[in-house]
Amino acid sequence: DAGVIQSPRHEVTEMGQEVTLRCKPISGHNSLFWYRQTMMRGLELLIYFNNNVPIDDSGMPEDRFSAKMPNASFSTLKIQPSEPRDSAVYFCASSPGTHFSRPQPQHFGDGTRLSIL
């Protein structure tokens, strides 16, 4: 079982550049989540998908952030243009999803540590 795979593990770039973070969920999982973790705010949900459809994007900070899930095995989180305050660790997680009658545990990737200079 490969787990949730995120890439890159680390990204350092200059402000104004476009940043793309990638996530491959566990095969068969129908729900995918993007989280951001900072020292100041802890873990926050940015957006989540169910069956490739965005369900709740209320946590996306502003229009500079966008997320897509073109198929069940791949999602991207894009920041354009990036700013220093976007520096954080970004986690992707997946779960079997809401078609089950009860809540399911989430499986987290190792995260992408993003630094915007």
Partner 1 sequence: KNEVEQSPQNLTAQEGEFITINCSYSVGISALHWLQQHPGGGIVSLFMLSSGKKKHGRLIATINIQEKHSSLHITASHPRDSAVYICAVEKVSDKLIFGTGTRLQVFP
CA atoms within 13 A on the CB side of 114: 30
Q: Is 110 in the site for partner 1 (CB under 8 A)?
A: yes
Quote the DSSP letter at residue 26: P
Comparing CB distances to partner 1, the nearer of 67 and 111 is: 111
Alpha carbon distance 34, 30 (integer Å): 14
Candidate residues 1, 2, 42, 53; the one interacting with partner 1 per rule CB under 8 A: 42
Candidate residues 11, 24, 31, 69; the one interacting with partner 1 per rule CB under 8 A: 31
Q: Is 72 in the site for partner 1 (CB under 8 A)?
A: no
Of 18-26, 61-69, 70-78, 109-117, which segment contacts partner 1 by CB under 8 A?
Answer: 109-117
Alpha carbon distance 81, 104 (integer Å): 35
